[in-house]
Amino acid sequence: MLALAILALAAGCMRVNIQGNPEAWANSMAEQMGAVVPVRVATYNTSLYDNEEGGLIRRLESGDANARNIAAVMQRVRPDIVLLNEFDYDAAHRAADLFQRQYLEVAQAGGEPLRYPYRYLAPVNTGVPSGLDLDNNGTAGGNGRGRGNDAWGYGLHPGQYGMLVLSRYPIESEAIRTFQHLRWSTMPGALQPRDPRTGKAWYAPATWTKLRLSSKSHWDVPIRTPGGTVHLLAAHPTPPVFDGPENRNGARNFDEIRLWKEYVSGDSQPWLCDDAGRCGGLPAQAQFVIVGDYNADPDDGDGMPGAIRQLLDHPRVQGNHIPRSAGAVERAADGGLPRKGDTAAHTGDFGPKAGTLRLDYVLPSRGLRVLADGVFWPASGDPDAALAGASDHHLVWVDFNHALD
């Protein structure tokens, strides 16, 4: 809206002949005139994964209906910066190339092509063999789910459920920090899982000291927006289910979320060392946006109490802006499951047993002015409702600019 206002202002002051995209021209004019251009940041768990290595690439090559709908949703919302969760990683970046060129950059369902000149993707822990017996079934590795349970993060092949960042604005590649290899036991007060029947630690000492905290990875991706650098803090903590009474996944989910709590609490964190060996958290003056599927609802679901509150209630985080949708309210009412929280804020639909929950977040730091937000989850009567069924999660977005004072 600011860009359009500047376009109108400029048109009133001079004769304007715009070739191509008027919005892009207006944004450029806004930057030249010193205005602060709004930035739209989104997170979207796309469910673009496959149980076979290379499976997503083959699907994208042959024309995947869900990928077309995911692209159509993105073309409707048109985020400037977006984190895609559950997008399979491959070392050649073939899946990312295909999705951008043959899906996003091609009009889908009446949308307009969407191009991102900058992106970031990197290896994740999912599906990477640990060589350890992490599920305590007596064997390390194996086949199927057994192999996945003993990977550093659950997955049937390396890169399954990966992450992809797309951006209209330049990424400061040399300043990116990743925490794929950070060991869980290095976190002060880590929630080491224990067998409630015996009180003994679930993991043997030799295993516990090697176990990685991040089930995928945690990324700090600095991006040069028109108003200044913003650190995109991207992650996808493990679901707090699929375990036993020791609640090892619940504890891990809590501490994966806690990693960002500690990271934005100041740079004097000597235990918090990234994969390049640099230690410490985010400087106090840095602006950031926390994004991702955190598998934690503030009021309902199976997560540990207070897990996502670590971020929502953090003094550096604006947790009071809650994106909502009409579709979530309608779907929650259809499911009929009891809910303590605001169903309009829910972002995912997990069937008749689990119902709808709020799991996906875009959380700007204080100092960024939030202008608008939303969840792409149209009500059933909306013409775009069919597009939203491409994933069991829905795209969440927030518009902000840098405060002028």
| Eight-class DSSP state of 86 | E
d(CA 394, CA 401): 23
Q: What is the pLDDT of residue 268?
A: 87
| Runs of H (alpha helix) within 63-201 | 65-77, 94-99, 144-149
What is the pTM assigned to this prediction?
0.91
Q: What is the pLDDT of residue 82?
A: 98
Amino acid present at 324:
R
Other CB atoms within 10 Å distance of the CB of residue 206: 8
**DSSP line for 14-81:** S-----S-HHHHHHHHHHHTT----EEEEEEEEEE--SSTTHHHHHHHH--HHHHHHHHHHHHH--SE
Give the Cα-Cα-Cα angle 346, 350, 356 (nearest 5 degrees). 25
Q: What is the pLDDT of residue 144?
A: 86
Other CB atoms within 10 Å distance of the CB of residue 32: 9
Residues of the chain with pLDDT below 70 are 1-36, 403-405
> What is the length of the chain?
405
Q: What is the pLDDT of residue 405?
A: 39
Q: What is the pLDDT of residue 33?
A: 39
Q: Which residues contact 107 (CB under 8 A, 6 or more apart)?
A: 75, 113
d(CA 4, CA 25): 10
Q: Are 105 and 115 in contact (CB under 8 A)?
A: yes
CATH architecture, range 36-124+159-402 = 4-Layer Sandwich (3.60)
Q: What is the pLDDT of residue 143?
A: 86
d(CA 168, CA 28): 13
Q: What is the pLDDT of residue 16?
A: 30
Q: What is the CA radius of gyration of the chain?
A: 21
d(CA 236, CA 214): 8
Q: What is the pLDDT of residue 167?
A: 98
| Residue 69 vs residues 235, 274, 387, 391: alpha-carbon distances, Å | 23, 36, 5, 9
Q: What is the pLDDT of residue 178?
A: 98
Q: Which among 169, 175, 285 is positioned nearest to 227, based on CA atoms?
A: 169
**Domain range summary for the chain, segments of one domain joined by +:** 1-35, 36-124+159-402
| Residue 351 vs residues 122, 147, 336: alpha-carbon distances, Å | 31, 26, 11
User: Which residue matches tokens 């036993």?
Assistant: 244
Q: What is the pLDDT of residue 86?
A: 98
Q: Which residues contact 239 (CB under 8 A, 6 or more apart)?
A: 249, 253, 295
Half-sphere exposure of 196 (CA within 13 A, CB side): 5
Amino acid present at 392:
D
Q: Which among 256, 282, 280, 246 is positioned nearest to 183, based on CA atoms?
A: 256
d(CA 402, CA 324): 23
d(CA 351, CA 362): 24
Q: Which among 210, 121, 118, 216 is positioned nearest to 160, based on CA atoms?
A: 216
